[in-house]
Amino acid sequence: MLLVLICLVTHAGHLPYDNSGMATVDGIRIHYRYWEVTGRPARGSCFLVHGFASSTFSWQKVADSLNQMGYEVVAIDVPPFGYSDKSHRINQSVTAHASRFHQFVHKIFPGRHWHMAGHSMGGGIVQAYALMYTDDLVSATFVAGSLFTKLPGTPHSLNPLLRFSTMRFVIGELARVWYIGPRRVKGLLASAYGIEPTEQQVSGYLQPLLVPGTARAILSSAIHYYEITSLDASGLQVPAIAIWGDSDTWMPHESRQRSLDEMPDAEIILLKDAGHVPMETHLEKFVEAWLPFLRQFE
């Protein structure tokens, strides 16, 4: 039944959420969700980017909270994750994603200046965006971000086995059948969260991963992965904040300290007893920590 629902979403054009939208940028279909402010001016515009193997689901609670406070919010599925394009030829580097999202916001939401936040892998995308398109942003927020110090604009190496489309198909099918399942997702979430996930949380992560083509698209990413420009963290000119769980075992803040040190005036906040996904597991503490930073720009 779940697979039937997923096929309907991807092949019949049905959208997974009431506030879902689809946009095409450079031939790539991007799924996003929009929390609109009606009846009053928005306090600001927030753009949320999820981490590896995640989707807009990971930002849902934060987006609801921000919207109730008067912020308009856009959350996006980074291709090939969530309900976005599953093409095997998408350049999944952080600079390529930043360029794609720059085109997206100017096409679908023109005239805004954004508070952009990224979690884990999404933190690196937001960092790249802030360096490449400074004038678009009011602020940048990195949540357990996969931050870089320098990025060379050069192609990455590739395992020769993955150059053959038949091998990618076989490995992708094996990943889908053996790796992506409820038990595996539950275990990974428990490790990232630092607590046991609910059935709703397991389902929220699992369903987008089961969309046909996801596993193969992920495994094909190395073929077309290359940074489209060189970047240096020290060039950041956007006000920035980094929020980490102090119990994050997936990407401890110490592992990105060098990158943080390179960014002038970036504030760092540690949330007590939180793991790698604090915006989900410690929602109130997370919003309480982030909100004063956002409100200073009103």
What is the pLDDT at residue 75?
A: 98
For 187, the token pair is 């275990």
First vs last C-alpha separation in the chain: 46
């990224």: which residue's tokens?
118
- Amino acid in the structure at residue 85: D
Q: Name residues of the chain where pLDDT drops below 70.
A: 1-13, 154-179
Sequence-ordered strand ranges (E) for 238-286: 240-245, 267-271
Strand partners, 29: 24
Which of 193, 186, 46 is closest to 120 using CA atoms?
193
CA distance 291 to 287: 6
- Please tell me the distance from the alpha carbon of residue 76 to that of residue 32, in angstroms, as a whole number: 4
Tell me whether strands 114-119 and 45-49 are parallel, antiparallel or unpaired: parallel
Quick one: pLDDT at residue 2?
Answer: 37
**Residue in this structure with the two tokens 């999944």, named with its chain if needed:** 92
Question: H or E element: which one contains 124?
Answer: helix 121-132
Planar angle of CA 217, 221, 222, nearest 5 degrees: 145
| d(C-alpha 175, C-alpha 80), whole Å | 15
Cβ contact 130:140 at 8 Å: yes
Token pair for residue 45? 């515009």
CA–CA dist 237, 131 (Å, integer) = 7
What pLDDT was estimated at residue 170? Answer: 47
Question: 120 Cβ partners below 8 Å, 6+ apart?
Answer: 50, 51, 52, 54, 143, 144, 145, 146, 250, 251, 276
- Kindly list the structural domains of the chain, giving each domain's residue range(s) and its CATH number in brackets, ordered by start: 2-295 (3.40.50.1820)
- List pLDDT tens digits, range 162-220: 444 444 454 444 455 446 788 888 988 999 999 999 999 999 999 998 898 888 887 77
The pTM score is 0.89
- 68 close to 46: Cβ distance less than 8 angstroms: no
